[in-house]
Structure 1
């Protein structure tokens, strides 16, 4: 259910007297839950205090429908939205987002290269790999080859019911270096190769839909190994569950900040992005949610034991950067093939 939260920081007017009158508060749409709680502490509250404004929060449910409705009606009710990278690129292509003024943001040289986008600013790095129950195996699995090795590591395999990332995992398990994965996957032979590798574990697949399921299944012993989000596994580990996340050759993607087209608060949104790009602010977020920062300077500001549980530093050295562009171009065809493959 959608909810809103109003954060009154100051009695100052939301726009200075020289600016046009605006009949609503500065509004941010994000994912909600603990994720948004961490954003509030790291970004929302410092921004609202610095700008002397009332900030309204709401929940974004994914997709482009709401942004399209704002564009069609001219009633732009959001000023910033946190999106997945693929949706942000699609929205940018459709003219639903403002182009980012990277000069005003200092160029973005302190960020991971993938964070510097035409219409979005990468802010949260999410590790997508696989996990296991440490009490289940005398020897720990180390890579994707182990994930596909049913003899050495028996048990069912948890995977999302989607080709995205699973095809990348299969190719890396079959020996394709991360730097070559998308070049291989861009060919019919590469797609065949990925599905052939998936065939080797198909009989043991258990498909998950929600990020909480791999944790539940691994703890209960319903699966031997499962793909998972790093944040879910690290949070469960902190709660005392005997789970471990395998960082080697994981795939990382980004959640990004974007400014809806024709937001009346564009200037204030740019000021927000300056705070969101700050290393210390990103550290504050990652201390509350076990996802990584995009500011490369944040690593030196965190204790090694914290860095060890995040997609940053050495953990990202062997990782594959998820290609939004590849999946925008190829998703429909590969999803159709995946859906047919699953039921065969």
Structure 2
């Protein structure tokens, strides 16, 4: 039995040490390990509160149980989470009114540059981070005044029942309607991810996407013309493609990885592939003028600890960037996560700076893409 377990661990790329740590963590989460609790009590202890934006629903419930409550227990600082559909309009309204009621906001990557330039955030105090947190996160996820809080992947998923011998494994397969027949779905609302999928379907490599030149856009829309007649429904809400896959109204579709993860863990007959996945980071920011800035710095440092990052992932399905959290996650979960290095290596990482850059006419690249996308959809 021992040999078979070790063999499975080697095949999954997971060490025996990682397996044992993950098993131990699974029995204690959301209880904080002694080393993390000691770190928090020594470096992050305080009093009072910190006000944090959140998305509501199961996301907030998961973060509250696996991050905020352990933080309060370890530091003595109470977390007050406030729910809104989107953080950015609320933050901008607060700054216009000259009254900042929140301490931490989660900001979509494409909105970050303009808010950064407007001076809405305070620098992150990385001196509060331990070596494990710093070593586990790539430098590009640690900005001067923002930290990648989690990554969202848009990936190709399919109904296993429709393809008992194996389903599509790439965007060229998605476009191959003869080799992989069946009803298809694509995300209706946003241009960028569909354009990238079309380029990959046309033979582009994941390393040759950015910048999206006009020539690349022409090729992408020509490729989208080919698949458009085979899209039976353009989905809008995040849970929609999962339900349509389960009800067999889709054979395949692009989906949010976190939504797929939740469904798969509940037994849904869905498979996903990371080939050509699209990764976008969302950022945690500390608002300038917020009522509890010091406590906000402490919470940011706490939630980027490896074990706490693992709790965030378990609670939300969307992992933060600290790869050391893999030591605290089960071997069954790791292959489904975008933070798994094997999965991330197959993905396109969003070039937020290029999307936010302005064109000669003053519009941003992302606005130009969206205008062209909407015109194409309306044809």
State if a TM-score over 0.5 links the two structures: yes
Residue 13 to residue 323, structure 1, CA distance change in 2 (3 Å): closer
How does 1:131-280 map onto structure 2 within 5 Å?
131-137=157-163, 138-161=165-188, 162-183=190-211, 185=212, 187-205=213-231, 206-280=233-307
The whole-number CA distance in structure 2 between the counterparts of 1:36 and 1:189 is 42
What is the match of residue 321 of structure 1? 349
What is the match of residue 337 of structure 1? 372
The whole-number CA distance in structure 2 between the counterparts of 1:73 and 1:156 is 49
TM-score of the superposed pair, with normalisation by structure 2: 0.80
Work out whether 1:310 is the aligned partner of 2:337: yes
Residue-pair matches, total: 322
The whole-number CA distance in structure 2 between the counterparts of 1:315 and 1:151 is 27
The whole-number CA distance in structure 1 between the counterparts of 2:79 and 2:317 is 25
The whole-number CA distance in structure 2 between the counterparts of 1:106 and 1:90 is 30
The whole-number CA distance in structure 1 between the counterparts of 2:237 and 2:295 is 35
Unaligned runs of 5+ in 2: 1-44, 358-364
Work out whether 1:76 is the aligned partner of 2:111: no
Residue 63 to residue 338, structure 1, CA distance change in 2 (3 Å): farther
The one-character-per-residue Cα deviations of 1:184-223 (angstroms, maximum 9, x if unpaired) are x1x1101101111111101122211101110111122222
Unaligned runs of 5+ in 1: 1-11, 16-24
The whole-number CA distance in structure 2 between the counterparts of 1:175 and 1:304 is 33
Residue 190 to residue 91, structure 1, CA distance change in 2 (3 Å): same
Which range moves more in the overlay, 88-97 or 220-229? 88-97
What is the match of residue 7 of structure 1? none
What is the match of residue 299 of structure 1? 326
Residue 44 to residue 88, structure 1, CA distance change in 2 (3 Å): farther
What is the match of residue 46 of structure 1? 70
Secondary structure in 2 matching 1:214: helix
The whole-number CA distance in structure 2 between the counterparts of 1:309 and 1:13 is 37
Report the structure, 1 or 2, having the larger helix content. 2
The whole-number CA distance in structure 2 between the counterparts of 1:301 and 1:105 is 19
TM-score of the superposed pair, with normalisation by structure 1: 0.87
Offset at residue 63 of structure 1 (A) = 5.2
Offset at residue 224 of structure 1 (A) = 2.2
Work out whether 1:128 is the aligned partner of 2:154: yes
Kindly indicate whether the alpha-carbon contact (under 8 Å) linking 2:46 and 2:75 is maintained by their aligned counterparts in 1: no
Offset at residue 106 of structure 1 (A) = 5.6
Runs of 4+ in 1 over 6 A off after TM superposition: none
Kindly indicate whether the alpha-carbon contact (under 8 Å) linking 1:30 and 1:83 is maintained by their aligned counterparts in 2: no
The whole-number CA distance in structure 2 between the counterparts of 1:33 and 1:99 is 30
The whole-number CA distance in structure 2 between the counterparts of 1:322 and 1:261 is 27
The whole-number CA distance in structure 1 between the counterparts of 2:97 and 2:81 is 21
